[in-house]
Structure 1
Amino acid sequence: MEIRQATTVAELLAAEHLYDGPAREDWAARFLAAAGHLMLIAYEEDGFPAGFVSGIEMLHPDKGAEMCLYELSVDESRRRRGIGRALTEALVAEARARGCQGAWVPVDTDNEAALATYRSAGAADEGGFAMLGWTFGGDD
């Protein structure tokens, strides 16, 4: 397995089977153009995108830079092989290389697989929180 940073729209579209829904070329281009956005893709020896992790580098005057692990996905047929952990560790390493002060991930408290993956990659529980959101139209 090789983990590489996605740098082209074609790479992002080729990993579409790992996303929650269909990828859009214009959104993929926008993702790549946005400062601080990062996607790492795990490729198997045959070139198959087996998983990805995306992160967003965030800045704040009193926290400096932090990396938010936005999403992690591993192809269902390739799970329980350490790919998720390797991707998480690669994102954390990239955050350190970028000078981030830390990294964090929001995760559902009942998602045992995600919790185990993040903990195995060195994450510590910082306590519960509520995540509230606003949903806008798809093109907003």
Structure 2
Amino acid sequence: MTRRYSIKPLGADDLILMGDMLGLFGKAFGQPDVYDEKRPDAAYLRRLLGSDTFVALVAEQDGVVVGGLAAYELVKFEQARSEMYIYDLAVDESCRRLGIATALIEALKGIAADRGAWVIYVQADTGPEDEAAIALYSRLGVREEVLHFDIPVS
């Protein structure tokens, strides 16, 4: 099968592609209020995309964003290394099962290695709608059983 998409890392000037990725996330996660209605302004997105600790990758097919990955580099204190955390990863429903999510993660692996990261990690929800993501992550990595807690700031 011929790959019909390309992977592109986003930089500070890629505001349109970032907006397209946010729209894709809102649609894929069923949360347009989070990803579309409260979208940060251009100055905020430019700072984020230009930062040393944020990575955004898109998969484009025929000029359309069909996949996206947002990750953060966490610089460690106990050793001179870092970890990459995949915060969001989504592929348009019409383009799933084409290797796009795997290609996005593979591209992140190269960036992570260049930055001295020793691991990439991701959290996954456990609902029936998350089975495909869990299967992908199980194929690419080692599963750990952990608890997750949200601690309110105020």
Q: Same fold, TM exceeding 0.5?
A: yes
Please tell me the root mean square deviation across aligned C-alpha atoms, in Å. 1.9
Alignment pair present for 1:132 and 2:147: no
**Deviation of residue 32 (structure 1)?**
1.1
Q: Which has the higher helix share?
A: 2
**Counterparts of 2:103 and 2:64, CA distance in 1:** 16
Q: Is the 8 A contact 1:53 1:73 kept in 2?
A: yes
* TM-score, length-scaled by structure 2: 0.77
Identity between Structure 1 and Structure 2 (%) = 29
**Deviation of residue 40 (structure 1)?**
0.7
Residue 106 of structure 2: aligned partner: 89
Alignment pair present for 1:117 and 2:133: no
* TM-score, length-scaled by structure 1: 0.83
**Deviation of residue 123 (structure 1)?**
1.2
Give structure 1 stretches of 5+ with no counterpart: none
How many equivalent residue pairs? 134
**Counterparts of 1:107 and 1:60, CA distance in 2:** 22
Residue 15 of structure 1: aligned partner: 21
Give structure 2 stretches of 5+ with no counterpart: 27-34
Equivalent residue letter for 1:50: V
Distance 1:131 1:108, change over 3 A: farther
